[in-house]
Amino acid sequence: MKNNPLFIDYKLPFNTIPFDEIKTEDFLPAIHKAIEDSNAKIEAITSSVDIPSFENTVLAFETSHEDLGRIVGIYWHLFAANSEGEFKKLAEEISPLLSSHTNDYMLNAKLFSRIESVYKNDTNVDYDEHDSKLIENVYKMFLRNGASLDDENKENLRNLDQELSMLSPKFSNNVLDAQNAFELWVTDESDLDGLPKDAISAASHAAKAKNKEGQWLFTLQMASYIPFMTYSNKRHLREKLFKGHGGLCNGGKFDNSTIITKIVELKHKRAQLLGYKSHADFVLERRMAENIENVYELLDNLYDYSYSAAKSELEEIEAYAFEKDSLESFYQWDFMYYKEQLKKEKYNFDSEELRPYFKSENVIKGVFEVAKRLYGLTFKKLDDIQTWHEEVDCFEVNNEDGSHVGIMYIDLFPRETKRSGAWMNALLENGLYKGEVRRPHVLFVASLTPSTDEKPSLLNYREVETIFHEFGHCLHGLLSDGKYQTTSGTNVFWDFVELPSQIMENWVGEPEALKLFATHYETGEVIPDELIAKIKQSSNFGAGYLSLRQLSLGYLDMAWYTNLDKVDDVESFERKATEKTQLFPSVDGMTVSNSFGHIFSGGYSAGYYSYKWAEVLDADAFEKFKEDGIFNRETAQSFRDNILSKGGLKHPMELYKAFRGREPKVEALLKRDELIK
């Protein structure tokens, strides 16, 4: 490993990663070496003749795969953010390799015996709360991964995990490849009618990148897709783009149907092998929701309010479309367009009016300023840090007293080598690493409206919310004060992890925060009060539909992971699962499931409800900020101390009550979205 940059200490500032030095061919040898080292450390634990203790067993296990965790973290980050060809294919080798290694230690009877001994004697030793939580987490992790099974069932579990490890990367690669394969070319300038100048310019820029002068290219990247569906008055082209998006990986070269049914079948088998009825039962045991019944109770409690509001909204928009364009049939590819047209008339407001005030650099400065006012944080741009792409910026984050908090990378714009959507990751968690507690290195990635030859990157309102959302996740990682990586930062129950992100979106809608950064990119004029008032007045237009959409995805996720019967047809299964949330005529060939990466290749299987769960938490928590003042330092410090800094140290409800003084109430969300008055 002498020449492998994944093992060489380049002594870069803040021990950052030498991205410029790393090549595709470095990963497999590095992973093999890291697995070998990890196995040797685990062998030392299991062969020890000393009485099992926290230090020689649990802590030794926690630190036994530091190199492997770091290398694999880099690979999966690049796999999502900047990969193609051979690098992407490598996942199909790496994933089963990691699965096999994980099973090797999770199913190691000697190792589990020592861990169990420490866990059962926990009360006899005076551990601090960090040590106790680590002992509990490690013990339960082993139990939930088959450590107590007999040898035959351990082998069965190993085979299931190996098969699953191959399927998720295939699902992800199919979605990315299918997205990149779809292109909507416009050659007649009249077909651009209704589109904002920025969208046209971006499409021209995309076409030029493919050596097509005088044409316009629209894709399924959200920065291209959303403006087209919102503003294009060419109905047949909206239909084509919508069907391209809705038909992703449903049939054809990149079909995910068989992969989906296999993933679900294997996850259920795995759960049953471990003593659970379904994958959902297995997952929810370690969630705030606790069980399937509570998830459905949440979804059902919001359903009536959401459906009623969504149906009313749709009827109003349909009537408007009929009056405006004599539209007698109304489909999903009409909804965004006519919703925007009606919003213009009702509120004398075009969402595109906001773009000039949301230059991406200013939005980043704005979210930094919000964090400074709330938590006293400062952000210093670093120019001597290696990154994975020239568009990536890196910042040092410090406390008010100048003490180091961590490192943050920001990657905002779409590429063919990047999957769509937005997400946060940690390249280094806060906690013990190489013998000392280290500060975190976090990142957030998005695919927002890029700059063109004519204009800088100007964002829409939802993209601004996306920046605040992902930045909220970054704060959760950065402000962690944990002792161990696996109990720190965003390592919390999955239905709690969205609270720090979703609460940050609230500041975007507050005039006091908006005026910190929303200045016209040409004139420097601060966003006028009149425009802010229009944002407020129109903010909940369509809120019922958006809420129903999230509930639909939650019901679909739960249907897949509670259903134990064989599914022969993904499309039919999906229609039945979401039937009560559907407001539009069904269209053959359209599915959500076939590209639903959250639940088939991400971490949200039996957990998509978490977004609505966290909305209840964030609406209720933000009411506290509004009562005290949105930049009240005492309230912000309480949120930092009780939630952001704690990671997974305590049960989320305990943390929430420490901040709010009580359990959350759903009424705050219903009021905020005006689903009740």
Enter the DSSP assignment of 536.
H
Q: Catalytic residue at 470?
A: yes
- Report the C-alpha gap between 174 and 170 in whole angstroms: 6
- Report the C-alpha gap between 398 and 531 in whole angstroms: 34
Give SS3 for 397.
strand
Enumerate the β-bridge partners of residue 359. 458
- Report the C-alpha gap between 171 and 160 in whole angstroms: 17
Strands 378-381 and 393-398: antiparallel
Write down the H helix ranges in 436-495.
Answer: 461-478
List the catalytic residue out of 313, 352, 470, 574.
470
Give SS3 for 409.
strand
Nearest residue to 271 (alpha-carbon basis) of 491, 493, 563, 602? 563
Is 341:230 a contact under the CB 8 Å cutoff? no
Beta-carbon count within 10 A of 625 CB: 19
Enter the DSSP assignment of 327.
-
Question: Residues 6 or more apart from 497 whose CB is under 8 A from it?
Answer: 473, 476, 490, 610, 614
Q: How far is CA 291 from CA 550, 657, 664, in A?
A: 19, 21, 18
Structure tokens that stand for 404 in this block: 């180091």
DSSP letters for 41-101: HHHHHHT--SPP-IIIIIIHHHTTTHHHHHHHHHHHHHHHHS--HHHHHTHHHHHHHHHHH
Is 554:292 a contact under the CB 8 Å cutoff? no
| Residues with active-site annotation | 470
